[in-house]
């Protein structure tokens, strides 16, 4: 690490010096990585009997992240993890990443080192190899493009389109927290902009802030499926909110579904913060994005294999296409799921929510 007090302009190192600086001491964890950073291309040898999964996410400053409240190291970590999540959503394990970065001259070498520290940390945690990239200048702002390569056995790859009638709709973890974390950060940003002397008040929101700033990919669930001999019939990761992802599964599977509102798993702080912002908590789960949990369907005969998992909640059931995609309220009303702007629920009085939500009020 360079002297923390001293910042280095990018031009001081030049492109090759910069790449060397950013990519030194990168370990290799996987046998499938034959050659990592350092030549014109990385060399990857897919494991016998496995298929390769490839995905990319592009992050643009001001569109996908705001450096006012996103620490650079977290940004690097998140950029990698959201890609790992896409591989998990195919029931695969991420193995390699390639990172493209476009950066304007307002960034220093130390700033890029922070981003890379986050990417490298994610790679270490998930045992993914960082095998290459490209570095270029941008006229303004920062772009990060991460391509991930993963693997899965052919017969375990899980698509969005395989849900069958009567399959159980399940979700991992809890929902809505990342969106509530974002609202807290945006609120504190406004306070700060109005009066830069004000310190942000982030107290007591550790969990939801972490869910926004440092999400995790559920590769642990992919391993659980393998250990328990479960192949979900369909799966997607929740990047845009439960409603939108459920509709993807139903549309691609040509099926309908019922989601039971009171079953949707939510953390207590998510619930309280939603109320504080005047948002019906269920809305945060349905339409708030970036939770990076897995939404999947399993056959009813696999229920015994998941019923004791603390990480998995059954929230609904797959129905015939003609039934539509519906939310069942605690008082048994059916509401059509909408991907955005879910007016019917928004207009409901928050005090008329479920008894279990009330009791946790
Ligand atoms: P080329 O001119 O052929 O694109 P580069 O000089 O850009 O080659 O890259 C040299 C090596 O460094 C390659 O292995 C490449 O994958 C890697 N590399 C370049 N930029 C990055 C980066 N931002 N992050 C990680 N690896 C990088
Ligand atoms: Mg290059």
What's the gap between Cα 242 and its chain centre?
Answer: 12
Ligand minimally distant from the alpha carbon of residue 113:
1
Mean pLDDT by 10 residues, the chain (361 residues): 72 87 94 96 94 96 89 96 98 98 92 96 98 92 97 97 98 97 91 80 88 96 98 96 96 98 97 95 93 98 97 98 96 88 44 36 34
pLDDT tens digit sequence for 43-69: 999 999 999 999 999 999 988 888 988
What are the two backbone dihedrals, phi and then psi, of residue 226, each rounded to the nearest 5 degrees? Answer: -65, -45
Specify the residue with its C-alpha closest to ligand 1, atom 24: 133
167 neighbors 318 (Cβ within 8 angstroms): yes
Query: Which residue is closest in CA terms to ligand 1's atom 10?
Result: 38
Q: What is the DSSP string of 272-329?
A: HHHHHTT--HHHHHHH------EEEEE-GGGHHHHTT-TTEEEEEEEEEGGG-EEEEP
**What is the 209 CA–ligand 2 centroid distance (Å)?**
35
**Tokens representing 268?**
């207590």
State the distance from the centre of ligand 2 to the C-alpha of 38, rounded, in angstroms: 10
Taking the C-alpha atoms of residue 325 and residue 336, their distance in angstroms, rounded to an integer, is 6
**pLDDT at res. 201:** 76
pLDDT over 70 percentage in the chain = 93
- For residue 119, the surrounding DSSP H or E stretch is helix 109-126
pLDDT of residue 202: 76
Report pLDDT digits (tens) over 314-334: 999 999 999 999 999 999 999
Task: Note whether 290 and 239 are within 8 A (CB).
Answer: yes
Q: Tell how far CA 165 is from the center of its chain.
A: 27
- Cα–Cα dist 152/157, whole Å: 6
Q: Which three-class secondary structure state does DSSP give residue 167?
A: coil
Interval between CA 124 and ligand 2 midpoint (Å): 24
Atom of ligand 1 nearest to the CA of 15: 6
The pocket around ligand 1, CB under 6 angstroms, is made up of 19, 22-23, 37-40, 99, 101, 132-135
Residue 359 has a pLDDT of 35
């Amino acid at each position: 690490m360079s002297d923390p007090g001293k910042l280095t302009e990018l031009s001081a190192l030049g492109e090759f010096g910069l790449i060397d600086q950013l990519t030194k001491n990168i370990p290799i964890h996987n046998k499938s990585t034959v050659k990592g950073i350092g030549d014109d291309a990385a060399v990857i040898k897919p494991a016998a009997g496995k298929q390769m999964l490839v995905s990319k996410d592009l992050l643009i400053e001001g569109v996908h992240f705001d450096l006012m409240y996103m620490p650079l190291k977290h940004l690097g970590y998140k950029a990698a993890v959201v890609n790992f999540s896409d591989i998990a959503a195919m029931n695969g394990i991420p193995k390699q990443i390639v990172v493209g970065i476009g950066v304007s001259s307002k960034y220093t070498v130390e700033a890029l080192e922070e981003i890379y520290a986050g990417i490298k940390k994610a790679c270490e945690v998930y045992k993914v190899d960082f095998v290459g990239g490209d570095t270029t200048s941008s006229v303004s702002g920062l772009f990060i493009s991460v391509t991930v390569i993963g693997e899965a056995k052919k017969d375990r790859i899980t698509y969005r389109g395989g849900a069958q009638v009567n399959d159980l709709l399940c979700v991992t973890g809890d929902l809505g927290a990342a969106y509530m974390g974002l609202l807290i950060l945006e609120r504190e940003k406004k306070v700060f902009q109005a009066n830069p002397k004000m310190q942000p008040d982030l107290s007591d929101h550790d969990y939801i802030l972490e869910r926004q700033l440092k999400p995790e990919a559920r590769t642990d669930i992919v391993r659980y499926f393998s250990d328990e001999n479960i192949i979900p019939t369909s799966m997607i990761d929740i990047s845009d909110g439960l409603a939108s992802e459920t509709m993807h599964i139903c549309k691609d599977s040509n099926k309908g579904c019922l989601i039971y509102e009171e079953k949707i798993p939510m953390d207590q702080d998510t619930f309280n913060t939603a109320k504080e912002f005047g948002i019906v908590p269920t809305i945060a789960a349905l339409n708030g994005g970036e939770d990076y949990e897995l939404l999947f369907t399993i056959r009813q005969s696999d229920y015994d294999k998941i019923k004791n998992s603390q990480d998995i909640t059954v929230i609904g059931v797959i129905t015939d296409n003609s039934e539509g995609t519906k939310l069942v309220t605690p008082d048994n009303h059916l509401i059509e799921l909408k991907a955005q702007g879910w007016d019917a629920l928004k207009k409901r009085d928050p005090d008329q929510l479920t008894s279990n939500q009330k009791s946790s009020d």
